[in-house]
Structure 1
Amino acid sequence: MAAQRGRDLLLKVDAGGTGSFTTVAGLRARRLAFNAAAVDVTDTDSAGRWRELLAGAGVRRASLSGSGLFKDQASDAAVRQLFFDGVIRPWQVVVPDFGTIEGPFQLTGLEYAGNHDGEVTYEMALESAGALSFTGA
């Protein structure tokens, strides 16, 4: 597979919970991270005192983040309202030539910044709030 352009990685939100996804506009950077907590089951009988982990146990989670410029009033307003309402909504991450990850996320951080000689920027952070699905490209 050839290298992919970072700008083709899309972050979309279903702000109204209606099944209609809108691309969050103006993003310059996006990130998706998956994590799983390990469950340590090591005991005195563990071979060579090596740590043992319990397969399939622990909590899995995904984190989404993005930063960029405000360019689209509708998606900007939707993101801001989701934060202030504290609601959980479906989000999608579209990874080119890979697939789409979709599931419920809560917007847990929203930051605005701006220099006197530059544009207003924002950063947002989201945490998964349920099971995620993957659909291959």
Structure 2
Amino acid sequence: MSAQRGRDMLIRVADGVGGWSTLAGLKTRRLALGNGTVDITDSDSAGRWRHLLSDAGVRQASISGQGIFRDAQSDALVREAFFNGAAMELQFAMPDFGALEGAFQITSLEYSGNHDGEVTFEIAFESAAALTFEAT
């Protein structure tokens, strides 16, 4: 895989009519994948090394971004999902990697701004169900 531009990473929100609306105005985007472990180490473990139970931990995905709201449609979708506490369908797409898609819940939404600057936002999502991944 060759070097890629960060701006080509996209966070898309399902628009409710079968399409996607890109979360506009993002300056930074982040995807973090995690896989919890289940420790099954006991006093008989070989060499006193930790033993983990395969395929038993909880998987999670976190998506976050920071930027400025530039699109009324994606702003409205995010705001509505936050105030309703509802999970929303997201897609995190990165060229030469693939797209991760599924239900996410907003865990943090922050707005800020200086008197001589633009209003910015930071948003964080956590996976809320099983996700799908399609490699490109």
TM-score interval, normalised by the smaller of the two chains: over 0.9
Q: Compute the TM-score of the two structures, normalised by the length of structure 1.
A: 0.95
Q: CA deviation at 1:15?
A: 4.4
Tell me how far apart the structure 2 counterparts of residues 21 and 73 of structure 1 sit (CA, whole Å).
14
Runs of 5+ unmatched residues, structure 1: none
The one-character-per-residue Cα deviations of 1:8-27 (angstroms, maximum 9, x if unpaired) are 000001143x4321100000
Tell me how far apart the structure 2 counterparts of residues 80 and 36 of structure 1 sit (CA, whole Å).
29
Which letter maps to 2:70? K
Q: What does 1:1-137 align with in structure 2 at a 5 Å threshold? A: 1-16=1-16, 18-137=17-136
State the SS of the aligned residue for 1:54: coil
Q: Compute the TM-score of the two structures, normalised by the length of structure 2.
A: 0.96
Tell me how far apart the structure 1 counterparts of residues 33 and 108 of structure 2 sit (CA, whole Å).
18
Q: CA deviation at 1:124?
A: 0.4
Say what the alpha-carbon RMSD is for the aligned residues: 1.0
Tell me how far apart the structure 1 counterparts of residues 15 and 128 of structure 2 sit (CA, whole Å).
15
The one-character-per-residue Cα deviations of 1:7-65 (angstroms, maximum 9, x if unpaired) are 0000001143x432110000000101011111000001101111110010011100010
Tell me how far apart the structure 2 counterparts of residues 109 and 115 of structure 1 sit (CA, whole Å).
20
Percent identity, please.
59
Tell me how far apart the structure 2 counterparts of residues 72 and 89 of structure 1 sit (CA, whole Å).
18
Runs of 4+ more than 6 Å apart: none
Which letter maps to 1:43? D
Tell me how far apart the structure 1 counterparts of residues 73 and 91 of structure 2 sit (CA, whole Å).
17
Contact 2:40 2:52 (C-alpha < 8 Å) held by counterparts? yes
State the SS of the aligned residue for 2:60: strand
Question: How many residues are aligned here?
Answer: 136
Tell me how far apart the structure 1 counterparts of residues 34 and 18 of structure 2 sit (CA, whole Å).
26
Contact 1:90 1:103 (C-alpha < 8 Å) held by counterparts? yes
Which letter maps to 1:2? S
